[in-house]
Structure 1
């Protein structure tokens, strides 16, 4: 009885094994075919289109390259052409009424006048000493002619004359420095020294800035600096919306050690002083033009390697991927480079195809354009 129970258990085990693990082979169905059918049902539209060789409907556009005036766009600020802190070169008390900040001054205009003090007496004394030295020199030469004076005495007398002349020139220069003048035409950025203020040598009298012409200063990156040339035309837009135009006057050869950028200066006429020092400005510097295509932003896509580009209708109506470089973003679309001169760009349905897929392009025209919903529906069938 015990042997019979064991045999029955073995038969039941064998039967369960065959029913569970060998059922497909016993019934004549191939598991591989079933898996293939399952994978085919869940394959993406692009893979289905490639396997079935059925054309996927897309919307495309005939595009011809155009020359795009590429520009290097910099953000910067306005800067006065010249800024000088005018200081005193001698000591004295201010004796004139101050000029208020914002006043327009011309080159050489007096800003601060200092009291002469006893300088007139010093000048008279220096002139008297000079006369005395000249008489001493004349006497020494007469004595030398008669053999009563040596050559050393003549040289000493000549040195006395030169020293007296230097003293006169020094006093005269000190008197000239009593009038502190503007070094160039511009605007006063500060009040001049107040009446009665005692100035010493090096003390500030006023600050003068020159705003005509004015400089626009920006900083170019390492990738853009080679596109900029001195003398290049530049358009600029101020924060107020005003636009101005000038030329590049300076391009730094040394990078800023902190930002690794290069200083760029543009000179712009400013006769009415409408542009102020320190305003924010956006500078567009023209450079050599490049061939580019204007495409909708929605047409851009990525390939399997993560490169940004466009899908094109190639030969035999099969798609191709072309990596592109984005040059400029506008309201009308995006300007890109890297495409051939003429290209058929897929603008709708590019996400449902991949390289080598057979497509049926419908070129967008004002009269015929295929809705995106129809494209998606047809591509997934």
Structure 2
């Protein structure tokens, strides 16, 4: 058990002895130099030689030092001569098509459908029958209401006759009263007769009031009967559901034999001619658009372009997006444009001068401002902020630049304002 520590101690002692006795050889092996050089370095003899060697590169560096004029050699870039052009200031946005009108026809009464169904996609005209409901006992109810109305009207002549009779009795009572009063004043009639005449007048007045009340009752009965007839007729009218306008069926009508409850869906009709194209304008552009302005749209499939005019511009912004709804009315006689298609919209606005440049010419300065780098009159690079007016297949239309300007389109990322450049110009179409 004590043999292993003893062997370990012997190995460590031998290793230390070798390191101490052969230190120079080990250093030379580690540095890759000869033994003599290692010994000289250890004794400090190589210091003068190293100083001389260190001095030689200084002389070489001085000999190949770049002259001052070469260090400031202009940077080669490619630029174009750009002149601003008048561009129509159309407001570009994306939107979608929307049916001019859409309605869900629902039942106003309950009953079983007895009409043959129409299939979705069918074209209907205003007033066409869409759904018809079984009348049931509604026609009998109408006949009963009409009979009551006729009965009430039949009592009118007798009620009017009683009124006229009561008026005549009142008139006679008034005459008798006047005669009794005059005779009483001349001493030819007693007070009893006068009182009796006055009582007859009161009785005649009460009879007239009763007759007029009976006539009013008859009139009320007639009005009630007329209301019952109108209600029964209205209930029968609700059995027939017709198209309120011409259009296309977006869904099948209710199947024959099905039970429609009040509020049940009969069919959905949409009107596609004319059709609306709806978009949302940002608040920065809304003041450039006016109601009645010409507008065009290109459908997402790229196969159709249409022209119309702005018919509505919202005065209230969407609370979530802070944009304003705009509607454009477009003719669609063949109904080829469907509801819900994506469209790119261009709305006519005031024109503005802009430069058409490659999108690759855009860059950012140290503050993150979008712009382009230009060549000044003294062939120096400079940075000019720009605004993107419109994007197109040929490039981007930019505003914020002078009328004529030399814009760097290749190499703009390798220069900063104030750097001398050697521009090579190419045609804008290249």
RMSD across aligned positions (CA): 3.1
SS at match of 2:220: helix
SS at match of 2:103: strand
* Shift in Å, 1:184: 0.8
* Shift in Å, 1:186: 0.8
Give CA deviations for 1:74-116 in whole Å, capped at 9, x if unaligned. 2332222222111122233222211111111101101112223
The 2-side partners of 1:88 and 1:360 are apart by 81
Alignment of 1:11-50 (within 5 A): 48-49=71-72
Cα 1:194/1:58, change in 2 over 3 Å: closer
**Which residue in the other structure is 1:174 paired with?**
235
Cα 1:221/1:41, change in 2 over 3 Å: farther
* Shift in Å, 1:351: 4.0
Q: Which runs of 4+ in 1 moved over 6 A?
A: 40-43
**Which residue in the other structure is 1:277 paired with?**
339
* Shift in Å, 1:298: 3.4
**Which residue in the other structure is 1:143 paired with?**
162
The 2-side partners of 1:176 and 1:159 are apart by 25
Give CA deviations for 1:109-161 in whole Å, capped at 9, x if unaligned. 01112223233322222222112212222211111111144232222221111
Query: Which residue of 134, 137, 142 maps to 1:118?
Result: 137
Q: Give yes or no for contact 1:140–1:149 (8 Å, CA) kept in 2.
A: no
1:91 is aligned to 2:76: no
The 1-side partners of 2:67 and 2:158 are apart by 124
- Segments of structure 2 that go 5 or more residues without pairing to the other structure are 1-46, 56-61, 167-206
Give CA deviations for 1:49-83 in whole Å, capped at 9, x if unaligned. 3xxxx655544432211112233332332222222
**Greater Rg over alpha carbons, structure:** 2
| TM-score normalised according to structure 1 size | 0.76
- Segments of structure 1 that go 5 or more residues without pairing to the other structure are 1-18, 28-36, 370-381
**Which residue in the other structure is 1:32 paired with?**
none
Query: Which residue of 299, 312, 336 maps to 1:238?
Result: 299
1:131 is aligned to 2:150: yes
1:104 is aligned to 2:123: yes
Give CA deviations for 1:208-266 in whole Å, capped at 9, x if unaligned. 11111122222233333333322232222223222222222222222333333332222
Which stretch of the first structure deviates more once superposed, 105-114 or 315-324?
A: 315-324
Query: Which residue of 280, 288, 291 maps to 2:353?
Result: 291
In the alignment of these two chains, the number of paired residues is 327
Cα 1:302/1:92, change in 2 over 3 Å: closer
The 1-side partners of 2:147 and 2:280 are apart by 61
**Which residue in the other structure is 2:326 paired with?**
264
1:72 is aligned to 2:134: no
Give CA deviations for 1:145-187 in whole Å, capped at 9, x if unaligned. 1114423222222111111111122222222222110111111
